[in-house]
Structure 1
Amino acid sequence: MNTHMFKRVLATSMLTCGLFACSSLVDVKPKTAIDSSTALTSQEAVNAAVNAVYDALQSTDLYGRDLIAIPEVLSDNGRATNNSSRLVAEYQNQPGSHLINWTQDYYGINQANLVLDALPKVTLTDAQRNSYMGQCLFLRALMYFDLMKSYAYMPTAIIPEYNRGGVPLSLSGVLTLPQVLFPSRPGIDEVYTQILADLTTAIDKLGATANSRGPAYATKGAAQALYSRVALYAGKYQESADFATSALASGVGTFQSKTTYVAGWRTAVNPESMFEVNFQTSENIGVNTSLQTTFTTLVTLGNTATTGGFGDVVPTAALLADLESEKDAAGNVLDIRRQLYELGTKGRGAQNIETTKFLGKNGTINLDNVPVIRISEMYLNRAEAYYRLGREADAIKDLNTIRTRSGLTEKTGLTGTALLDEIIKQRRLEFAFEGHRFWDLKRLGRDIVKLPTNLPFTDYRVLARIPISEINNNRNLKQNYNY
């Protein structure tokens, strides 16, 4: 699998003895580096190697920017401003302009596999071994899920004549070129089965893991929450509902009230986070591609006199209309989530309404921890799952938990398609600019209605293009249709 990536990593490591695949034993420096399987002979080395898997998620191609920003701009939530020319092609859904997470995700998967391979050989306590195994399996599941979202159809909505299967599975680490395999693409269901199996084991192994380190680390509750999301995408609705219930009871993440929700977005760690990617001061992505510069020109709230970022992606008129669709008798917008959007500066061109979900919350411009799973999602996952299971009264109850928290009145009497549409609308409003919208439309098989042109679900551009280098190096790997 993934020959080009491993050749690149191996070649780089021979020069720099970098993140992994060094052929000789070296000291594990820094503490988030993994050098080779021979280095994984102590608890300290394993701990550093696990931290390296977390750090892989910080890549701009992953949660540093793309997995959050690009699903917004590919869909009907985000509009590219052309302030820096970045993400304009993605906004226009041009062929080949999509997610490019293939290499970085497989890089992180290989790191996780190297740790999993080494764990039986290292002297550790049972608690340590279980914790490291659970964390690596959670991270591997997350990265495979992100690959499947980008490069494959979801089990709930498939165009059979365009379907080329899932993504290659590799469950063992690779250190040398002779270890590299050339697998084909397994079926979609096979990959989802593996993802859910990883999460099942992770939940078991993380059972005794303390939550004291915060949402930057995998926990049982985070694994249950991710299971709920994956099961929803896979059409396993009873499992999605059950694991959402377990996640809500886990004690990981704190559901916010109407009066505290917006403030939660102003703190370094969002109190609703069940899992988030943590950035230290030295890991600042910078003014070109951070989430702050991508989403806003503001440096601080309300200050339109000082320009910071580029504001490359701003909310569409349709998203703002949905946020403002419910008002009181005096014409005031009821939805408190609208407070997370405000007028930017004129420093990059036209002045736009921008999201402020990412605004240097860690105390430094362009430096933000990135929520990957928030506890609010569990209510909406369960609401949709209940609807699919015919439990409409339960679905409305969970839906209203989100609505009333958001300052909206309770819905009563909704049924059928109207109920589902309201659940999906609340998902749109709740997770706007958090990287959900494109995937929700894709798993539902819905067309994307947007300017400058619509993107029908039947269009091949719904799937990302597998890197050409991967196709050239592995004759067993089939490219997605029409690329």
Structure 2
Amino acid sequence: MKRLYTISLLVLCLVATGCSDWLNVAPSNQVNEEDMFSTGDGYRHALNGVYLDLGTSTLYGQNLSWGFLDIIAQYYSASAFKEERVYYQSLKFNFEHTNVKSVISSIWSRSYNNIANCNNLINQVSNADPSLFAQRELEKNMIHGEALALRAFIHFEILRMFAPAMMKDDQKAYIPYVDVYPTYVPSYETNENVLKKVVADLKEAKRMLAQCDIAEEHKAWMSTNSRMLGTNIPRGDISEEDVFFAFRGYRMNYYAITAILARVYFWMGEYELAYNEAKEVLDATDDEGKKCFSFVSYTELGSNMKDYNGIIMCFFNKTLQENYEPFTMKSSEDKLYLVNFEKGEKEADQRLLESMIGSEGTNKYSRKYMIPLGTNGTDMIPGIRLSEMYYIMGEYFARTNKFTEAGAMLDEVRYERGIRETSLKTTITTLDGYHTEMLEDMRKEFVGEGQLFFQYKRLDKKPVKNAIFVFEKPQNEDV
């Protein structure tokens, strides 16, 4: 059994610029662990290194967003892929193909490497003197809480891929929940045990972040401008040059943890608990009493294609446009041409119009990741957003036979996307009916975000007959 991946002390040589200076890290020279954690900046660098790695193409910069996960969710046309290449084989669920195995293996190993980095950081920060940090106890709690939340989040993501959904749970042990550092022989655990630990870590992280993000003096951090664009931040005692406390939407902020808890409870089948967490996000207000999370006006969706007004947490990748755009070109060997994307809507759904959907001849592709460098939103990979909270609340209502309220939740999302005449609150009369409408709306809402596959899996609704919902653990690695 191979030992768990230990922290890489080569700090990532990705230096953010411009709107995301909060991600600035140390130079790429080798750093001694003792030296790294001798100053507060070292803790910042270690935390930012995890965020940066999650945004790379191996994880949320491609495979777990617009790449592998959306391919197996059947967003794209098989005819636009070359048969011998990994994307065609993935679309056909040929998970025995060498290159597909390599993708799945890299997701597993990179995820657990980031968990190891989180565990090392948690060990170090929990014993650190608050005087090391520029903002003392506030900053120590923030770093500790974010690392806990990241550890829980990554484990949950691995579980969603490498274990059955709860309705298919067979009580077998599928993944280890690694919460010590270093670990050499981790114990594999059941769905139930892993989820208990995920929830416990998220609850503790939420408690710690409450002291930061929702304290009265910091509520402005959660406004859209502050959270996503890093502007209009009341500093108080924090230096203007210190951007570590800006751009909370790129981080595991208090409401991101709340929203992820809602997602976890939803996966567990704890629908009322999921509803309560989702409603807390919907009801969140900033220092001016305005909603922290809202939908951009449907008339402005073309200039804000990711609707960062409603992003609760996103990942960062500076080269998103550069990485994605080749997959929309006719000359590319693999093209991400959409299929079954416009069915069922005759209304002016802005998600289906030219502002959001590009054309190459008769073929269509999403423009969500074609925002030019230097434009607001260009580096954002949505991780969890406001609309998901509406879907969660709607399903809770549908499962309690409150179909008018369930339909109203979907109507709200659809209305905000430009469907001004929508009446699902009067037409949905069954849980299956709710799921049909919800999945159809999710397909448009989550294109490029890697979320639709998990909804098919949760509900056991295969997008194609040969769909595989449980990835096999790589044979060459135990963690």
TM-score norm. by structure 2 comes to 0.78
Q: How does 1:149-164 map to 2 (within 5 A)?
A: 149-158=160-169, 160=170, 164=172
Alignment partner of 2:445: what SS? Answer: helix
Deviations 1:437-483 (A, max 9, x none): 1111111112222xxxx325xxxx32112122115xx8xxxxxxxxx
> Does 1:433 pair with 2:467?
no
Q: Is the 8 A contact 1:157 1:442 kept in 2?
A: no
Q: Alpha carbon RMSD of aligned pairs, Å? A: 2.8
1:430: how far off?
1.3
Partner Cα separation in structure 1 for residue 447 and residue 266 of structure 2: 19
Measured against aligned partners, the alpha-carbon deviations of 1:29-74 in whole angstroms (never above 9, x if no partner) come to 3389875256313211111111111112022221110001212211
Query: 1:67 — aligned with what?
Result: 64
Contact 2:11–2:26, Cα closer than 8 Å, also in 1: no
Partner of 1:227: 261
- Corresponding residue of 2:387: 376
> Quick check: 1:192 aligned with 2:203?
no
1:263 aligns to what? 303
Q: Spell out, residue by residue over 1:111-134, the C-alpha distance to the aligned partner (whole angstroms, 9 max, x if none).
A: 111111011322222211211111
Normalised TM-score (structure 1):
0.77
**Partner SS, residue 245 of structure 1:** helix
For residues 284-363 of structure 1, the aligned pairs below 5 Å read 284=319, 290-294=323-327, 296-297=328-329, 312-316=335-339, 318-320=340-342, 322=343, 325-327=344-346, 333-339=347-353, 340-344=356-360, 352-363=363-374
- Which structure: greater helix fraction? 2
Distance of aligned partners of 1:67 and 1:112 in 2 relative to their CA distance in 1, 3 Å threshold: same
Say which of 248, 254, 257 aligns to 2:282: 248
Aligned to 1:277: 315
Distance of 2:332 and 2:209 partners within structure 1: 39
What's 1:204 paired with? Answer: 207
Q: Name the % identity.
A: 21
Q: Does 1:445 align with 2:460?
A: yes
Residue equivalent to 2:470: 463
The equivalent of 2:10 in structure 1 is: 18
User: 1:376 Cα deviation (Å)?
Assistant: 1.5
Equivalent in 142, 147, 155 of residue 131 of structure 1 = 142
Structure 2 contact 11–28 (Cα < 8 Å) conserved:
no
Alignment partners' CA distance in 1, 2:29 and 2:64: 22
Give, in whole Å, the separation in 2 of the partners of 1:250 and 1:106. 33
Q: 1:393 Cα deviation (Å)? A: 2.5
Tell me which of 106, 121, 127 is aligned to 1:115: 121
- Which has the higher mean CA deviation after the structures are superposed, 31-40 or 117-126? 31-40
Cα distance change, pair 279–403 in 1 and its aligned pair in 2 (3 A): same
Instruction: Tell me if 1:58 matches 2:55.
Output: yes
Q: Partners of 1:32 and 1:338 in 2: how far apart?
A: 47
* SS at structure 2 position matched to 1:166: strand
Q: Aligned pair count?
A: 409
Aligned partners of 2:278, 2:166: CA distance in 1, in Å?
A: 20
For 1:218 and 1:33, the matched residues in 2 are separated by 27
Aligned amino acid, residue 369 of structure 1: M
Letter in 1 for 2:81: N
Q: 1:33 to 1:120 in 2, by over 3 A?
A: farther
Deviations 1:191-211 (A, max 9, x none): 111111111111111112343
Q: Is the partner of 2:303 in helix, strand or coil?
A: helix
CA contact (8 A) 1:134 1:205 kept: yes
Q: Residues 10 and 29 of structure 2 are in contact (CA less than 8 Å); yes or no, is this contact kept in structure 1? A: no
The answer for unaligned runs of 5 or more in structure 1 is 21-27, 175-179, 298-306, 328-332, 346-350, 475-483
Secondary structure of the structure 1 residue equivalent to 2:309: coil
Larger CA deviation: 233-242 vs 426-435: 426-435
In structure 2, C-alpha distance between the alignment counterparts of 1:389 and 1:358, rounded to whole Å: 38
Q: 1:33 to 1:127 in 2, by over 3 A?
A: farther
Q: 89-98 vs 226-235, which deviates more?
A: 89-98
Question: In 2, distance between residues paired with 1:354 and 1:75?
Answer: 15
Which residue is 2:427 aligned to?
413
Question: What SS does the aligned partner of 1:326 have?
Answer: coil
- TM-superposed CA distance for 1:375, in Å, is 1.2
